[in-house]
Structures are given as C-alpha cells and as structure tokens.
Amino acid sequence: MKESNIRNFSIIAHIDHGKSTLADRIMEQTKTIRPSANNDQILDDMQVEQAHGVTVKSRTVRNLYTADNHQSYEFNFIDTPGHVDFNYEVEKSLAASDGVILLVDATQGIQAQTVANYRLAKKAGIKIMPVINKIDSQNAQVEQTINQLVALDPSFKAEAILKISAKKGIGVHEVLEAIVHEIPAPTGQLNAPLKALVFDSTYDNFNGVIASVRIIDGQVSQNDKLVLMMNQQTFTAKEVGFFQPDRVATKTLAAGDVGYIVTGIKDAKEVNIGDTVTTQIDGCTKPLPGYQPAEPMVFAGIFPQGDYQDFKAAITKLALNDSALQLTPETSDALGPGFRGGFLGVFHLQIIKERLKTEFNVDVLTTAPNVTYQVKTINDPQPVMISNPVQMPNFEQIEWIKEPIVMITITTNNESLSDVMRLAVQHKGTFMDMQNQGQLVEVVYAIPLSEIAYHFFNQLKSISHGYASFSTEFSGYELADVVKVTIQINYAQVDELTFITHRVDAPEQTQKIVHKLKYTVPRRLYPMPAQATVEGRVIARVDIPPLRKNAAVNGNQYSVSKKQALLRRQSINKRQATKSDIQLPQSVFNSLLDLD
C-alpha cells in the first residue's frame, strides 16, 4: 500500500475504559474478523488477561478499511495495556505510531492513567485524537467529560470530540473516518536503505525471536540478509508479515508498514526493544535513537514448589516473551534453587506468578517483594545497588542508604480527598502539588517506592470507594533511615525472610511477623524461639510452642509436681540449630505477604 494510505496508531486509555472493546469493533467493521456476539476483547487471549479482564501485552493488528471517499486504507493499530505497571508497553507502542486514540470512559471521566498516557503521547510528539466512550451507559456524563478533556488540553475542540459506544458499535464509523483524516500518514523513504524499529518481540522454539517492527525507510523481504545495529548481530529474515490478528506472511514490508520479521535468533537477549534493523549490505548508517530499557522496580525470590527443571523451563520461556522481566539464579537454604526476579511492579509479579500456573501448570512460591537500595559503605568509594536484602552490608559498615522515590499523582474526587491525603502522609508522602480538574482533584506526592509497592493500591481503592486512581514516575534516590531485619527460628537465620524496612516501622512490623510465625511454622517436640533482629539487637520474639508429649505424664503414677517437672524439662530446648533445617511451608510466606 502506498504510504499516503497507511495509518499507524495506538489506542490508549485508563484501565477498563474500553480499548480492547474498541479494537474488537474496528476489526469487525474493517472485516478483519467476522462480526459475532462473542467478540469480547478478543485480543486479550492470554488466560491471565481473561481472568483479570485487563490487557497485559500490547497487540498489533493490520486492517483494511474502505473509506467513504472509496479509497482503501491500511490501518495498523496497537491495543495497549492500561495498568500503571505496564506503561512501558504503551511507550513501546507509541514509538511505532503516528497518532493515538485517547479513549475516556464517560461514566468515570478522566482518570490518572488517562493523564499519564496523554503525557506519554505528548512526549512522543504524535497526534492525539480524544474519543469519549460508553455513551450508551445510564451513568454517562458526556458534557463533563468533554470539559475535562478541554481542560487537559485546550487544543482539543469540544465540538470535534467523538462520542461513541464501543460496546454497541455506535460512532465507530466516525472514528474510522477521523483516523483517515486526522492521523498523519507515514513519510518514510521507500528508496532509502532499510531502517526498521524493533518495538516489541515474542519468542517461540521453532522460529526463535519474532520481532515486531515499524518500517521507517526502505523495505524488507523474506531471505534478506539483515543486521541488528546495537550488537551487530546478523541474521536472515526467515519470514516477514503482519498480524491480522494471527501472523500472515507476505512478500515484502515497505516504508510505513507495521509488521513482523521472523529472525530465527535463538538468544532472546540479542534482540533488544528499540533496536534498529537494516540490511547487511548498503544498510543505513545511523540507527534510530532507541529508548531506555524497562527498569525493574520491585524484586522478589521465586522458587518452584515442584520440579526445578520444569519450573526453570517455564520461567525462562516467559522471560523470552516479557522483556521487562529480569531473572538471576539464586539458591536458598530453605527453598532450594530458584531465581531472583525483577518486576515492573507488584501487579507484574502477580501476573507472572499466575501465568506460570495457568500456562505452564507450575506452582511457585515468592518471597516478600522489595525495592533496590543504593548503599555507601565505609570501605567502598562507590555506592552499590542492593536488590536482595540478604546482600545488604552489615550496619557497622554502612555510611548511608538511599531509597527510590517516585512522584505519585493521585486523581480523586472532593469527597475522598482528605482520606486520600491522610493515606499518602501515612505512607511517608511529601506533599508537592494540588490541581483541580473539573470535579476531580489531582494531588502529587513524593513518596518512597517501597511504601506504594505492596498494599497502597488496594488501600487507595477502598478509602476512595473505587474512585481514586494513580500514576507514578520515578524521581530519584534519596537518603533514608532504613534497616535490615533478619529473622531467626530456633536461633538459625532464615535468609528468605530477611527484609529491609524504615527504622520507625520495624518494631510494629516485626511484632506482627513473629506472631504470624508462631502460628505458621511447623512445631517441633521442643519450643523454638522466633525472633527478629535489627543491628544486632533482638527487637521482637515469641516462642513457638512445642508439640507436647503429654503421654509421658499420663496416668496417676506421677504426682502433680513430678508432671510439672517433666514438662519443664521437656520445655528446655537443648537443640539450638546452627543452620536452618526448618521446612517453611507456603503458608509462612503467604502470611508474611499480607501483613497489615
């Protein structure tokens, strides 16, 4: 197709505002898929996506549209995830797009991720087309939503904002026409050397890495000899094609097209998102600027509950299709061999855990998630990054510790504002800014990442009755008064339970933990102390009661005092372990994960 008839765009929005549903309607109305009452978010085909009703991975689809002007157009759209953990997926998609449909649910109005995604599109410098969705709903507040959009960006013209129902298909035709007229066509040079942006990748055993590409200049065909410019990795294009939504092979992809190249490369690390593909001979000389790789925000140990080899194969395969998941092998005394995983957020961690279960039937145990700390020791001139609490140096060696701080923007309504602000302060947030957005208020806090990594999201939802939403942006590392807490059961340290926390929170948290341990650690014939230590001092302790050998004092042949003496003797723990030989059941970790 000639470039002037190609439109490349992403659909972006807050979670649940209807992106995947609009994608269904676009595919139906362009006859990419057959209309059916059962077409519900058909691109969300991963089991975890269906279970949570959310998109986890961006999906690209080519559609052919015959417009009212009787011309034929190639629409390449990318359906993106809305959850804050997957912003990275959105950024990748925008790099391959010339415009976006910014969808807003009329029953909810602008939410935090609407604003965050709008800003990403602004930063990418591409055309933004606001569209209001769910006008069929009784609770739709169309006028208010228009006002919010115009307040967000005064260049949006109230009259021009389209109002649709993606569910019922109302107004979708107008959206298709607006795409033709408002989103610019690509302007690459067909006769220039090949320059293609790798904006995503998947992996399969047979084909190796399949790179999703946007052809900027030139063209690429099957059997072309190609090179990835970042590492000068050469390969031959085994196949080129596009998604519809399944893979469809074609002879050539040309400037302006979005599609895929089957690289045959078996080492997924060789294909980096943001890399540039060109030809080995007469290729382009200057690669595209590329972009920052996704930085993991939280870390946790992942250990198999069944066979290690099955687990390793499954998680390695998952990582090949999820460039944001980082894995380092790790072995634990109590849990055996496993990995330390780096994740974009706690939701990402949960999704990985569930995908291992649903797609590979592998059960795993995960340790409490933590963030990365920057630590300066007395002996080292340079600070080191610590993402595993066990590796935190001894407190006597430490000069200072810095923790990651994020700017959190919370969008909420006036009724819940004071509760939301109280919650932010409880989590050590520092107030930065407040702005009115029509009926909504936007408050900004600088807050430690560790404070929002676990339960913050649920707490925010419950105190605001589901109303508040948030987006975050990494701001930097700042000095923090944090300490390493180690846990000993029967005097032996259990490394998997080591964690880092703010000094002020340590007493309360450790009390809760040792009490949880009291009821979850399997009992022995003798009592075992469970204790928490900070900087060499035990700050919380309980005794895990023994399984009593009451049979020994049954009957009448002993006096009461004899019985008491026996019990006392039994209660003296003669066995102080040097190495943890306690098998910790899943319930111990589960109970530690939902402290609160």
- Interface residues with ligand GDP (CB under 6 A)? 13, 15-21, 41, 53-55, 82, 133-134, 136-137, 165-167
* Cβ-based nearer residue to ligand GDP, 167 or 515: 167
- Token couple for 107: 């029953």
- Distance in angstroms (rounded) separating the CA atoms of residues 14 and 104: 7
Instruction: Report the C-alpha gap between 529 and 582 in whole angstroms.
Output: 12
Q: How far is the CB of 20 from ligand GDP (least distance, A)?
A: 3
283 is in an annotated binding site: no
| Shortest distance in whole angstroms from residue 18 CB to ligand GDP | 3
Q: Which of 7, 14, 17, 19 binds Mg ion (CB under 5 A)?
A: 19
Q: How far is the CB of 145 from ligand GDP (least distance, A)?
A: 13
Q: In sequence order, which residues have a C-beta less than 8 Å from that of residue 357 and are 6 or more positions away?
A: 363, 364
Tokens of 433: 């800014």
Contact assessment for residue 133 and residue 166, using Cβ atoms and an 8 Å cutoff: yes
User: Which stretch in 51-59, 154-162, 272-280, 458-466 sits in contact with Mg ion by CB under 5 A?
Assistant: 51-59
Residue 291: half-sphere exposure toward Cβ, Cα within 13 Å: 19
Task: Tell the smallest beta-carbon distance from residue 129 to ligand GDP (Å).
Answer: 16
Q: Choose between 16 and 177: whose C-beta lies nearer to ligand GDP.
A: 16
CA distance 381 to 298: 26
Residue identified by tokens 């057959």 is 34
136 labeled part of a ligand binding site: yes
Q: Is 55 in the site for Mg ion (CB under 5 A)?
A: yes
Instruction: Count Cβ atoms below 10 Å from residue 152 Cβ, excluding itself.
Output: 20
Burial of residue 386 (number of CB atoms within 10 Å: 0-12, 13-18, 19+): buried
Of the pair 20, 486, the CB lying nearest Mg ion is at 20
If we measure between CA atoms, which residue out of 523, 563, 558, 525 comes closest to residue 544? 523
Tell me whether the omega of the peptide bond preceding residue 193 falls within 30 degrees of 0, making it cis. no
Q: How is residue 402 written in tokens?
A: 């810095």
Q: Is 10 labeled as ligand-binding?
A: no
Query: Interface with Mg ion by CB under 5 A: which range of 52-60, 91-99, 192-200, 245-253?
Result: 52-60
Measured over the CA atoms of residue 451, residue 453, residue 455 and residue 458, the dihedral's sign is positive
User: Which of ligand GDP, Mg ion, none interacts with 202 (beta carbon under 5 to 8 A by kind)?
Assistant: none
From the list Mg ion, ligand GDP, none, pick the one residue 166 interacts with, judged by a Cβ distance below 5 to 8 Å according to partner type. Answer: ligand GDP
39 is in an annotated binding site: no
Which of the listed partners (Mg ion, ligand GDP, none) does 133 bind, with a CB threshold of 5 to 8 Å by partner kind?
ligand GDP
Which CB sits closer to ligand GDP, 18 or 241? 18
Task: With CA atoms as reference, report the closest residue to 11 among 106, 75, 72.
Answer: 75
Q: Give me the least distance between CB of 139 and ligand GDP, in Å please.
A: 9
Q: Any binding-site annotation on 555?
A: no
Q: 563 among the known binding-site residues?
A: no
Say how many CA atoms lie within 13 Å of 535 toward its Cβ: 12
What is the rounded CA–CA span in Å between residue 173 and residue 142? 19
Report the 3 state secondary structure along 376-411. Answer: EECCCCCCEEECCHHHCCCHHHEEEEEEEEEEEEEE
In the bound complex, what is the minimum distance in angstroms from residue 206's beta carbon to ligand GDP? 30
Of 136 and 354, nearer to ligand GDP (C-beta) is: 136
Write out the two tokens for 230.
């970042």
Q: Whole-angstrom Cα distance, residue 221 to residue 113?
A: 38
Q: What are phi and psi of 59, to 5 degrees?
A: -130, 135
Stretch that binds Mg ion, among 14-22, 133-141, 174-182, 194-202 (CB under 5 A): 14-22
Looking at the DSSP assignment, which residues form a beta bridge with residue 133?
Answer: 105
Question: In the complex with ligand GDP, which residue's Cβ is closer, 113 or 366?
Answer: 113
133 among the known binding-site residues? yes
488 binds, among Mg ion, ligand GDP, none (CB under 5 to 8 A by kind): none
- CB-wise, 11 or 229, nearer to ligand GDP? 11
Between CA 543 and CA 558 the distance in angstroms is 27
Q: Is residue 412 part of an annotated ligand binding site?
A: no
User: Taking CB under 5 A as the criterion, which residues in 66-105 touch Mg ion?
Assistant: none
Q: Is 83 or 427 the residue whose CB approaches Mg ion more closely?
A: 83
Whole-number minimum distance, CB 10 to ligand GDP, in Å? 12
Q: Which is nearer to ligand GDP, 137 or 350 (CB)?
A: 137
Which residue, 10 or 498, is less far from ligand GDP as judged by CB?
10
Give the DSSP H or E segment for 309. Answer: helix 308-320
Q: Which stretch binds Mg ion (CB under 5 A): 15-23, 28-36, 246-254, 423-431?
A: 15-23
Q: Does 20 bind Mg ion (CB under 5 A)?
A: yes
x/- binding map, residues 226-245, to Mg ion, per CB under 5 A? --------------------
CB of 351 to ligand GDP, least distance (A): 14
Q: What is d(CA 196, CA 218) in angstroms, rounded to the nearest whole number?
A: 8
CA-wise closest residue to 10 among 89, 108, 86, 73: 89
Is residue 377 marked as binding? no
Tell whether 18 is in a known binding site: yes
Residues near Mg ion (CB under 5 A) are 19-20, 55
- Binding residue positions for GTP: 16-21, 133-136
Which residues line the annotated binding site? 16-21, 133-136
